[in-house]
């Protein structure tokens, strides 16, 4: 059984460009681009056979230049795939690329991860992969511990946080089933891929995630990431 990583870094990160004047995936913390933090965790865990970086076409030269600075990437089975206008399109492009070029078996595992979750830990990757052995879809989640409030047409209303969780990546899928869903049940505006597996009845498992695997969405998230890394 092979494990393939799809690392998504094709987003524009517009909510942060005003502060950092670049795409967040290329922002350097301790002289290292943000997307390399998660990439290195997957590389160093020793469980991944093939790496697919999903990038904007205009960033191809930039990404290649960054990777060529580090000799450790020279021997990696690595491919660059151009993303689409949405996250779903980017995942679909990567899956279709793998279907055409990688000769994967249906039960090989595809790990889909957002590059703007840079603090994914190697031991978590190993744990999620082990949990994926007997199912076709796995996602980590974390429990909501704060109070939950909703802005409605009647004003702010408190909601119960019981049985509610935050969904994280990496999400892991058997290649054949997730490819079939993207070929036949494509929805352009989905924010993650486990929903597609869940709603279409794939055997699945929800596992405990790690709060450190937070998403760097806004400038405050970036400051928190910098503080954790620099300390």
Residue 226 lies in a domain: no
Distance, CA of 198 to CA of 13 (rounded, Å): 28
Cβ neighbourhood burial of 142 (10 Å; 0-12, 13-18, 19+): middle
The answer to whether the beta carbons of residues 210 and 144 sit under 8 Å apart is: no
Q: DSSP letter for 171, please.
A: E
Residue 118 lies in a domain: yes
Residue 208 lies in a domain: yes
Residue 162 lies in a domain: no
pLDDT tens digits along 5-26: 999 998 776 678 778 889 999 9
Residue 119 lies in a domain: yes
The answer to whether the beta carbons of residues 124 and 169 sit under 8 Å apart is: no
Distance, CA of 211 to CA of 145 (rounded, Å): 11
Residue 174 lies in a domain: yes
Residue 144 lies in a domain: no
pLDDT tens digits along 41-76: 999 999 999 999 999 999 999 999 999 999 999 999
Domain with 179, as residue range(s), is: 3-138+168-219
Would you say the pTM of this structure is higher than 0.75? yes
CATH code of 189's domain: 3.90.550.10
pLDDT tens digits along 116-127: 999 999 999 999
Number of domains comprising the chain: 1
Query: Which structure tokens are listed for 11?
Result: 């987003």
Residue 201 lies in a domain: yes
DSSP string covering 36-99, please?
HHHHHHHHHTT--SEEEEEE-GGGHHHHHHHHHT-GGGTTS-EEEEE--SSHHHHHHHHHHHHH
Distance, CA of 211 to CA of 57 (rounded, Å): 32
């Amino acid at each position: 059984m092979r494990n393939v990583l799809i690392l998504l870094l094709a987003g524009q990160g517009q909510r942060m460009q005003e502060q950092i004047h670049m795409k967040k995936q290329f922002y350097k913390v301790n002289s290292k681009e943000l997307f390399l933090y998660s990439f290195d965790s997957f590389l160093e865990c020793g469980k991944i056979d093939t790496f697919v970086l999903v990038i904007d076409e205009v960033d191809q030269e930039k990404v290649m230049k960054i990777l060529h600075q580090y000799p450790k990437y020279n021997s990696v089975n690595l491919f660059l795939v151009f993303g689409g206008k949405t996250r779903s399109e980017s995942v679909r492009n990567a899956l279709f690329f793998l279907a055409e070029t990688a000769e994967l078996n249906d039960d090989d595992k595809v790990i889909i991860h957002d590059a703007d979750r840079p603090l994914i830990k190697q031991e978590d990757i190993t744990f999620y992969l082990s949990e994926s052995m007997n199912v076709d879809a796995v996602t980590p989640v974390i429990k909501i511990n704060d109070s939950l409030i909703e802005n409605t047409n009647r004003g702010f209303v408190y909601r119960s946080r019981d049985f509610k969780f935050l969904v994280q990546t990496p999400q892991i899928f058997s290649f054949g089933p997730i490819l079939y869903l993207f070929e036949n049940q494509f929805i352009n505006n989905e924010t993650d891929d486990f929903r597609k597996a869940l709603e279409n009845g794939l055997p699945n498992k929800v596992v405990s995630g790690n709060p450190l695997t937070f998403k760097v969405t806004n400038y405050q998230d970036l400051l928190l990431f910098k503080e954790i890394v620099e300390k």
